[in-house]
Structures are given as structure tokens and as C-alpha cells.
Amino acid sequence: MRRTSARLADGREIIYFDDTPGAPTRTAVDRRDLPPTENSGQIRRDPLTGEWSAIAAHRQTRTYQPPADLCPLCPSAPDRPTEIPEADYDVVVFENRFPSFAQNAIGVVERGLVERAPGVGRCEVMCFTSDHNSAFGQLSPARVRTVVDAWADRTEALSALPGVEQVFPFENRGDEIGVTLSHPHGQIYGYPFVTPRTEKMLAVARAHGGPVLGEVLAYERSDGSRVVASSEHWTAYVPAAARWPIEVHLVPHRQVPDLPALSPAERDDFADLYLRVLGRLDGLYNRELPYIAAWHQAPVREGREFAWLHLEVFSILRAADKLKYLAGSESGMAVWINDVTPEDMAARLR
């Protein structure tokens, strides 16, 4: 894989990850007339829960579901410049033009009942392919391996930035999820705090005296009723206490804190297994399944010995034509009610 870093017209970084033999050297220049980026995003701490929220009003003007011929994630053409200046690409990552967090976030820290601070961090967009009509599940194993290597590269890079406490690669797919651009892509957030979900999992692991996921993995592999697929280095299963109607966890058999810690063999093995899982998800209702794929990684500076890398893939589709809405119990009290048994869902996916 060849890695090339460049700059867009407004100074944002763009990085090409090329795996195609003979791919051209990336020398295209972004000639768009773009204003300098400025981010007034803020984070505020809820005094009742202690949790941080991001306030990013400038994102209201971001691009929303443009027609395919105006997609900003497709390669550039002579008469249609996009976010990617090149005429083609394999995998590309660039700084989000409408970020929730950014290194140049402006503002001051304010103490008090509702603590405030600039939303310092970083948000990136990752395009998995230049083919607008493709999907992650249609990639080759070699291309998925390139994506994994790019995730690992960006995790290391963002972890080294001032103010970043946790790195979160993820993919949103499908209109029902709320995707604003249909081109196959994901995002990477460098949060200026440890997220509430991660804090809770680390607290449970500390109280337990070690990473609980290792015991969960052994339990699921031994029971087998919720295992969807497995390989030499990974197991995919529906968790026994699944919150979502469709929810699959992909867990490496070895405890590693994050993506950079995966071995070459584990990265190759993940590519094969993940494509199998995505094929089964799309086959469930014989349609492209809307989903969120979320990587759970250790924070940059704390609790790394208690963390166990894993990918959570879930969908809000509870039947072929019905959505799972987060209603009173879920939204108001964070008590989840699942209309599908995990054992039944795993059997159907198998």
C-alpha cells in the first residue's frame, strides 16, 4: 500500500491509500476557491450526568443528499471538482469540511455549572472506493485490508494530536440511518473526551478486575447459539443482551486495545470474516441493510489494559418494512426493549 498526503484548497489534509498496482502518483491540485475553514464548535458538560455534548451549529449548512452527478465524494472531473482532486482513487481520507471537532476550534474554556470548552479534536471522512454505486460489502478482501490499514494509520495519527482522547472510526449506511451522502464512506472522530459508552465499559471492567469481553467471547464461542460466523482470529456473534433487533459483534480472539495493535494475519482474517457477515446482513431481508458499524477502541491515555477492540454492527430495521424507533423507554431512561430474540436473529443470519 502506498500512502500520499496532500492539501486541499482551504488547507485541509487529504491522504490517499493506494493498493492498485501501477496507480498513478497523486499530484492533482485542488483549484477550487474555498474560504478558510473556521470552527466555532463547542463542547458542554451536562451537570446532571457529567457527560459531554458537542454543539456544532455550523454543520447545519453541510451538503445533504445531492444527486449522484454532484456527489462531493466522487473523483473530480474537469468540469466538476469535488473534495477529491484526483480523477480516480482507491481509498482516501480527508478532513471533514463540516467537522464537529477540529484542531482550529475557537473559543475559551468556561468553568461553572455548565462547563464549556472549544471542540478541539478532528473529524475525517474516509471513502472506501471511488465507485459511487458500490458498497463496503462489495469490496474485495484486499481492499478491505487497505481500509483496515487506513483505519489503523488514522488512529495512530489522531491519537497523537493535541486534545484528542479517543478515536472512533465508524460507517453510517442507508437513508433510514440518516446518511447525507450515499457514496460508500465512513468517518473517523477524534474526540476531546472519553465517550460515555467507553467510560461505562471501562468502569465495569475495572470493577471486574479485567476486560469482561474476553469472558463474553469465551461464553459465546462455547454456547454457540448466537455465533453467526467465525474464523481463525475472529468470532462474530449476536450478543445475549442485544439492544438492537439486528446487532452483531466482531471480536478478535486476542486482547488488543485498538486497530494499530492488530497483526497482519488478524487484519487479513477480519477482511474475510467481515465480508461474510455483511453478505448475511444484506441477505436477511434481500435488500441493502441500513446499519451503523462502530469500532470500540481504547482511549488514548487511560484504561487501555481493560479495553478489548471490537466492531459493533447494528441496524434499526426490526422487520423487512419496520423500523425500531427509540421511544420512551430507550430515549427517556436508556432502558432498551428488543422485539427480536438474539438466538433467533443469529440463527437467521447463519
Q: What are phi and psi of 201, to 5 degrees?
A: -65, -40
Residues 6+ apart with CB under 8 A from 344: none
Cell of 293: 458499524
Could you tell me if 45 and 74 lie in one domain?
yes
Q: Read off the CATH number of the domain in which 96 is found.
A: 3.30.428.10
Residues 6+ apart with CB under 8 A from 33: 9
Rounded Cα distance between 182 and 174, Å, is 7
First to last CA, the chain: 34
Could you tell me if 275 and 294 lie in one domain?
yes
Rounded Cα distance between 158 and 103, Å, is 10
**pLDDT means over runs of 10, the chain (350 residues):** 96 97 94 86 95 81 70 95 97 95 92 96 98 97 98 98 97 92 96 97 97 98 98 98 97 98 98 98 96 98 97 95 92 94 97
Q: Which residue has the cell 464461542?
A: 221
Q: Which of 193, 209, 233 represents a domain boundary (last residue)?
A: 193
Rounded Cα distance between 84 and 73, Å, is 7
Could you tell me if 9 and 154 lie in one domain?
yes
Q: Which of 162, 193, 224 represents a domain boundary (last residue)?
A: 193
Q: What pLDDT is attached to residue 287?
A: 93
For residue 84, give the DSSP letter. Answer: B
Could you tell me if 86 and 229 lie in one domain?
no
Could you tell me if 116 and 69 lie in one domain?
yes
Could you tell me if 186 and 202 lie in one domain?
no
Report how many domains make up the chain: 2
Cell of 306: 481493560
Cell of 181: 451522502
Could you tell me if 170 and 224 lie in one domain?
no
Q: What pLDDT is attached to residue 60?
A: 56
Q: What pLDDT is attached to residue 58?
A: 65
Could you tell me if 90 and 145 lie in one domain?
yes
Q: What pLDDT is attached to residue 180?
A: 86
Which residue numbers are catalytic? 185
Q: What's the half-sphere exposure (Cβ side, CA atoms, 13 Å) at 187?
A: 18
Closest-CA residue to 129 (of 140, 120, 121, 116): 140
Could you tell me if 181 and 45 lie in one domain?
yes
Cell of 231: 474464523
Is the distance from CB of 102 to CB of 37 less than 8 angstroms? yes
Could you tell me if 184 and 295 lie in one domain?
no
Could you tell me if 150 and 288 lie in one domain?
no
Q: What pLDDT is attached to residue 57?
A: 72
Q: Which of 141, 165, 193 represents a domain boundary (last residue)?
A: 193
| H runs (alpha helix) in the chain | 141-159, 196-208, 212-223, 264-284, 333, 342-349
Q: Which residue has the cell 482522547?
A: 165
Q: Which residue has the cell 477482511?
A: 271
Closest-CA residue to 31 (of 98, 79, 91): 79
Domain that holds residue 43: 2-193
Closest-CA residue to 264 (of 221, 226, 232): 232
Could you tell me if 301 and 260 lie in one domain?
yes
